[in-house]
Every structure is written in C-alpha cells, then in structure tokens.
Amino acid sequence: MTPPRGRRETRPSRRNRDNLPPEEILSVSYAGALGKVLSASVKQEPNLLDKSRLPHRSSTIHYTGRPDPKLNDSANALVVLRRLTVLDSSPSNSKARPEEPVLDWASKHRLGYQDDWAAVVDQRRRHALRALNTRQRGHRYIRRVELTAEWRLVTGLGEQTGAHEFGLSLHGTYGWPLIPGSTLKGAAAAWARHQKVSAERYTAVFGTPTTSEDEEDLHGSRCGVRFLDALPKASREPRHCLRVHSDVITPHQHTYHTDSGTEPCTPGEHHQPIPLPFLSLSGTFVADLVGDSSESTEQAAEWLARACSENGIGARTTAGYGYLTATSTDNWEEP
C-alpha cells in the first residue's frame, strides 16, 4: 500500500522489532501411563516488515521434572508418537494443533535416528546374516537392495495407533522409521502378477497361499525368499541420509467423505478445508533378501527394483510419493 503524499510510511525500528517478544499461541501437555511426561508450547512472531507473509512459528518440547528437560534425538519415537496422549491444551481455539510440537521434533531430530547407532545396528544385522548362512552351511543366498527415494516416501499411513491421528511404520525397538518387509514383498508380488509370470516362477519366490484360516495348510508351499525390513542407511551424504518431513494434506470435501448420517451431505466448495498433517521420509533404505536358491533370490530382487521404480510403494503414490531407485548386490558383508 502506498502512503498518502506528504506522509512517510512508519515502520518499527530495528530496536523495537528485536524487543518484541514472540506470542505464545499454544501450551500443551502430553501424558502416558506414568502421568504427565512432556510439556510443549508454540510461539508465533509476526513479520512486521512484510505483513503479507505468514508469521514465523517455533515450538519447544521438553520433559517434565527432569534436570535436562530438552527433548532431543535420544528420545524414542515409539513413546513420543504412540504411547502419549494430549492431556491438556490451551487455549482451546488456538490456531496451532496439539501435535505441532511433536511434528517439529520428529522433523528436526529425525524421529530419534542417529547415524552412529545405525552403523552399529547394521553390523548386528550383518552378523545375524552371517550366522544364519553358516548355520545353513552356505545354503542361504542373500541379496542386499538399497532403495533411494526419488522424492519422498510414506509408509504406514493407515497405522493410526497413537493419539496424534497420523501413522508411520516404526521399528519395534529403536523407534526409527522403516519399510516393513511385508510392504516390500507385497510390492514385488504385485509386480510379478502384473507381468503375468509363470506360476512356477511365482511360487518359487512367494510360495502358495494357505486355504485354511484356522489350521496350517499342508498343501501350501513355503516362500523361497524372505524379505527383511528395510532400515535407513547410515550415511552422511545428503542424498542418502535419512530426513523426516512434516507434510500436510488438505481435503476440501472432508464433510462429504466422513458424514455417516442417514442423509449424507452433498459435496460442495463451501465446505471448510481441514489440513491433516503427516510425516514423510527421504533418503536411502537398506533391505536384505534371504533365499533358498540364487536364481529365486536374484529374481525377487529384480521384481522389487522394478516395482519400486515403476509402481512405487507406500501411500500417496499418485501424488509422487513412494518412488525409489533400487541397486542390488550380493556383497552384503562389506559396509
């Protein structure tokens, strides 16, 4: 806006801008089985120089009643995301959502993932694979597949096991994000069916499904290749290191899709959009395939690579998520 002629536009001085304290727009507490565990706040600082831009927000989250209260990357994401619920939030009409501090922590500290710890975990997996191969007298064939996200990846979006209403596949011990082996196996099997491979080749890798739900089907054959969970690769390279992103999907017809009354409402542009946050990943994940034969293991690795690059895995593939570049090798013993 241009000021009237003869007047000068008044702007706050630099000293006044620096002295303006941020406004606290949200105060929230999280509780678990042992009571109040975490406290958090969201502060907002207006952009006085350019009011057309959104105000800058910052959040802090810390333990309750501890000498070192700051929540850092040593926290376990399983506890933060799945074992806690919102105890108190004020004000009730705040523009910030109660899960915003948790999302900021997840993005900043990568859900508690640390490269040094990841290198140790990778050594433990190599040792387990080596022991398995020795126990089977070398009759196990192992292929290591590295999956690098072309953009971002979403896994476990439907696993809304916590109070924050967004899902993510996490390791059952470390709390790190991963790609479940069942997801990898399902993607490879879907690609094989789409290519209409022969039943013999398909059965050699995935086996045959059982026909009984209550009792073991003796006529079904076991799968020839086991798909282990894909863990993040311990790397310092920007393309391969794990990154956690806080994304948002905004349905414009939320009332139409969620209304379960006897007379559901009709879709319309007058409905209020509701932003729904979720977490996405980028970087490189390492999966190991353990097979009974060299041919079936290599075939499974090839199907998995094609499925990841052509069909994508996980959720929101139509929006560009989940497409991966795969590289396969049998030299899994060297880091």
The pLDDT assigned to 195 comes to 94
Tokens of 224: 């020839």
Where b means 16+ CB within 10 Å and e means fewer, 285-301 reads bbbbbbbbeeebbbbbb
Residue 91: cis peptide before it, omega within 30 degrees of 0:
yes
Residue with structure tokens 């501090």?
101
Tokens of 203: 């059965």
The pLDDT assigned to 210 comes to 58
Distance CA 232, CA 89 (A): 34
Amino acid at 128: A
Nearest-10 Cα torsion for 193, 197, 198, 200: -80
The pLDDT assigned to 269 comes to 76
The pLDDT assigned to 217 comes to 52
Which residue stretches of the chain have pLDDT < 50?
1, 15, 17, 214
The CA distances from residue 161 to 165, 168, 196, 206, in Å, are: 8, 9, 36, 29
The pLDDT assigned to 13 comes to 52
The CA distances from residue 20 to 47, 161, 331, in Å, are: 11, 41, 58
DSSP assignment of 79-134: HHHHS-EEEEEESTT-SS-TTHHHHHHHHHHGGG--HHHHHHHHHHHHHHHHHHHH
The pLDDT assigned to 50 comes to 64
Three-state secondary structure call for residue 44:
strand
163 contacts 33 by C-beta, under 8 angstroms? no
Three-state secondary structure call for residue 246:
strand
The pLDDT assigned to 157 comes to 87
Tokens of 322: 């989940």
Bridge-partner residues for 41, per DSSP? 27, 60
116 contacts 80 by C-beta, under 8 angstroms? no
Distance CA 165, CA 333 (A): 40
Distance CA 189, CA 77 (A): 31
Distance CA 327, CA 314 (A): 19
Distance CA 70, CA 200 (A): 57
Q: What stretch of H or E contains 276? A: strand 276-282
